[in-house]
Amino acid sequence: MHLMYTLDEEGKRVYTLKKVTPAGEVTKSAHPARFSPDDKYSRQRVTLKKRYGLLLTQQPGMRAQHFPNIQSARSQF
């Protein structure tokens, strides 16, 4: 058995051990994907993310949100 989850009305995770909820909704795995240092397809994955603008560095407000001190440091110079 693996830990599974579904999202409730508020968007919060509800954990269960079942593959399907009583309402008939299929649950998702709560475990991360396996990691392999010998990743054969990382170049293709990064290329596709660049092409479709899905890289975290391409997201709007990425620096301001995750690095709040950057703006204050820039204003000092």
Q: What is the CATH number of the domain that holds 1?
A: 4.10.80.300
pLDDT tops 60 at residue 10 = yes
Taking only the tens place, the pLDDT of each residue in 21-64 is: 999 999 999 998 888 888 899 999 999 999 999 998 888 875 55
Q: Which domain holds residue 63?
A: 40-77
- The pLDDT assigned to 44 comes to 95
User: Number of structural domains, the chain?
Assistant: 2
Residues 25 and 50 in one domain: no
Residues 48 and 23 in one domain: no
Residues 25 and 46 in one domain: no
Q: Are 6 and 25 in contact (CB under 8 A)?
A: yes
pLDDT tops 90 at residue 1 = no
Residues 44 and 76 in one domain: yes
Q: Which of the two residues, 76 and 23, has the higher pLDDT score?
A: 23
Closest among 7, 11, 2 to 21, alpha carbons compared: 7
Residues 53 and 70 in one domain: yes
pLDDT tops 90 at residue 3 = yes
Closest among 8, 13, 11, 1 to 23, alpha carbons compared: 8
